Structures are given as structure tokens and as C-alpha cells.
Structure 1
């Protein structure tokens, strides 16, 4: 959940901005079931989508938060988006010259021809050509400052993530604020301090819940990325895996592909009578360097694969 671009919450839940609270709640439940990580063990994007769905419902179900969000995404449309401007619109909008002339007859009415006698007696010396010219031009307005949201990364322990904790955050202007992290928080979660950054922008706090062994905590679950060489993933292997309670041996099944998820039951965090699992994600990587003979074997393997088709 680190993306800085605001997602379209209506599209995420599959509803229109005119839907009522019952339709919104029904859509949320439907999408939450569809993208729950426990029901999409082989989809690495399910966890991120599930968090976005929860975020969408939290914003759209709160009238105040919804209004704040809609102000950000709904921008005034350009009046010339689908057509070419008229001459009066060009003067008014583009050049900033106000005009009340509605048609050509009005334009002609602004000018009166001089008679021949009036033209002969016309004395240019009577006209002060400088009377409407200011001595100095008005100062240009100061440049508009564009402010951005701010973000801090805060590291907390698995225990702090499980039960909730209090952390101090230093804002851009040096102010220290206390932020309470929610219980059952996870690595990568983002908390928003509304209007705390300069320019009334938001300050986001990203939680980092990781161990030195590379374990990532998310609620009661523990996530781990296991990197394997292609031959180990193809043939299967036994690998020592770190857990919160020490190493265990994991038997990787043959024909394992990148993105495959393996479950270590009961190796997650414990809360009262509940115990989470540890999820191991398979990631296939190549060795840093390959010998000529190894490359030749890969080429031969590729030729054999093509011969099958």
C-alpha cells in the first residue's frame, strides 16, 4: 500500500457515486470475500487489493472522509475540452479581457463615424494619450507554492504490531506528534495524519514490521520470501526456513513456480486462543554467475522444450 496516487474507490468496489449505504456495504462484503488473502493463496496481488478495498470502504462510508477524498479527485473540467472557444470566450477566459459584446451589431454600435467638418476640426493635441497608462506596472502576483503529502517510515516490533503501540513522529516543521498504531497491524500499512503537513497536506506513516531474518508480519500471519534456483524449484528440495521461534525444515514440492505459496501452520503470532500461520512465497532466481557448461545445459533444455511442440 505504498502507492502515492489516489485510487478510484468507486471502481474498486464496483459501485457508482449515487449508491446508498446498503449497496456500498453489500459491494464491500462481496469484494472483501473475493480478494481475501486466505482465499487467494496463489495470487500475490490479493493482499494489496484486499487492503485497498478496506481503505475504500473506510473512506466512502464516512461522509467527512468521503468529501475530503472527492475534493481531490474531482477537478473542474475545461470549458474548451470538447469545442473551440468563441472570440468573446477567448478574450474573457484566455486573455482575461472582459467583454459584454454579444454580437456584431453591438460591436458596430461602439463606434461613430466623424463628419467631414468634424474630421477637419479634429485636434489631436486635445487628446492625452498617456492618461490611461499607469506610471508603473502592477507587481506580478507571487508564485503559487505547490505542497505535497509527506511520509515517514516507522519500524515497530511484531509484538507492538500485534497489540498496538504509541510512536512519536516528527513533522516537516519539527513538531512531534504521538501516533497510536492499531492492533493486528501489518508490514507496509499506511496511517494518515490528516492536514499535518505544510499546506494542509496529509502526513502518512508507513509501518515496517520485519525481522532481521526477513520475516514480515501482517496481523497474526507471518510472510517470508524464499528464493530458489531453477533446478531446486523444478526437482524439489528441503530448505531451512526462519520462523519467529527458530528455524524449521520446509520440504519444497517439485515443479514449484514463482508465486507459489506454502503454509507452515501455527508458525505465526499468537493471540489468546488464536494462532496464525507462516506463509512462504517461492521466488525463482538465477545464480549470480553461470559457467559456460551450465549455460550450454540451459540452451539444450530449451531446445528439448521446443521439440515437444
Structure 2
């Protein structure tokens, strides 16, 4: 298989010295422009949307960006020298796929360079200070005798302690919920006393509408018990990733809707993206910037407590005018008795 080098900086239209804020702004601008819901008649939009998400996935992450910058077009000669994910932190490490799409959302180049990051949806990672079976959470191995997690030897079986991790979800995943597979990379001690990295897959049932900070409990998937004791539980704290179009205010989803001045003045029917697919929305005549319209039940939250989507009008003026257009605007200004200012 031939894998082509991709210039992620060129895809986002930024320089190699661009800061995180500039990269983020460029990504949001392009993601809005090429979002499939807003370009349903353009078959290339989805492809372009995935490419800019792939580029942002790398350039927003300092470690991935450093690796990408160091290898560049010569990535094929250096990709085998990266450390396996999970060894740098000690204990356990969750890994999973692309943050915006399911399998297939990332190119062969991305998967080859970063180890198949498009393979399974969201990801979870242990928070700093997590401690599994006595293996210290600070990057080294702690007291091998304290497998019960209490710091010392205790006779008889004892239950393992609970573990806490962060589960990153896209806004779409949080809205829809459902089963999700995450891969757990488990650092253990082999028979020869050296550290080894194994993997296992866990299935997580995500409640539809789960909000930022919500917790999901996986029974028996925490720290192992001592001497045959029952394992503790694993608690996943939900972190919802930033979205190109939507913002969150508790359970409500906010969308800024650009309108032309004549659409705002005369009213219009426009296509509006939601987490449940695009819908047709009637814009009342005389709508000013800042006006909010509600799409009930299109936000986050459990059954009976689901938030709404708030569509906020943002009137935008044409950046330039032809002579004919300017003449028409001047005629409108001459006959209009409307004044936006009362002072």
C-alpha cells in the first residue's frame, strides 16, 4: 500500500510556527465551511472535513505535533522508533480512536504514523495520581508488595481500590449514547520482573444525553484485589470535546446562525444543523443579531431533563458591494425611517 505524506499545516492554512490559538481558529473556520450538513450537494465536503479534522488532531496535541514535525516527509524512516503509548505514565492507559469520527475517518498516513488512531471512537485516559495495584501513578513502579492498594501487606483477600479516568467523547457521541469500545493498555510485570504492555477491550454503555462531568461506572474494572480479592470499580468521568459548530451551556447546545441583512429583515426559511441532523427553520421577519430561537429537546440530558438547542441570530453585512448593489442600499437608506439607535 502506498501512503502519501500529508502537509497538515497546508491543510489548515497556517505556518509551521503557528500557535495553538491560531491553529484552533483556522480549524473552526474551515470546519464550519466544509461541514457536511451545510454542504449536502458537495460530495467533496465530507472528505475535506475529515482531512482538516485529521490535521487538527495532530497539530493541537504537542506530542503528536512534535513527532510529526521531527519526521516530516521522512516519516517512513522514523516511525518505528516511537515509544509504545502507556509506558511513559506507569499503571494503565486507555487509548482509542479519532475524536471526531468512527473507524475510517483518518487516512492511512495518520494511522501508519500514529498507530491506528482511527480504530475505535473516543478515548479514555487516567487522571494524574491514578494508582493500579501498587504500580505508582507517577511514572515508576511503587512497592511491589502493596498490591491491595493500601500501601502495606494485609493477610487474606482484600478488595482492590476504585480507579478514576477521563473519557473523552464527541458531542455527537454524548448526544446519541450507545455502546462504545475502548482499548485498555495495561502495564504489568512479567515473569522475569520486567514491565510488559498488554491490551484488553472494554465495552462502555454511554447514556444518551450524558453531560460534561457525568460519571459512568464499570464494575470490577478498577484496581485488582489482593490474594484473590474482588477488583475495584472503574469510574469514567465524561469530558466532551470542543465542536466546530456548537457550544455548550450546561445541557443546552448553542449554534450561531449567520444571516444576510435581507434574511433578517424579511424573514427566511434556512437549513439549520443539529446533533440529530439538519432541520428547516423559519426565521421571523425583523430578527436582530443576538435573538435566540429554541429547538426543544435537541440538547443534552436524560429523559425528561433534556436540554434544548438555542439558535442565535448573527446578522452579517456583505464584505463588498457592486455599484448597482450600493445604489440599491442607498435608495433603501433614503426611504427608510428605521433608526437602530435611541441615544
Structure 1 length normalisation: TM-score? Answer: 0.33
Question: Taking CA–CA contacts closer than 8 Å with sequence separation of 6 or more, which of the two structures ends up with the larger relative contact order?
Answer: 2
Structure 2 length normalisation: TM-score? Answer: 0.30
Which protein has the larger Cα radius of gyration, Structure 1 or Structure 2?
1
Structure showing the higher helix proportion among its residues:
1
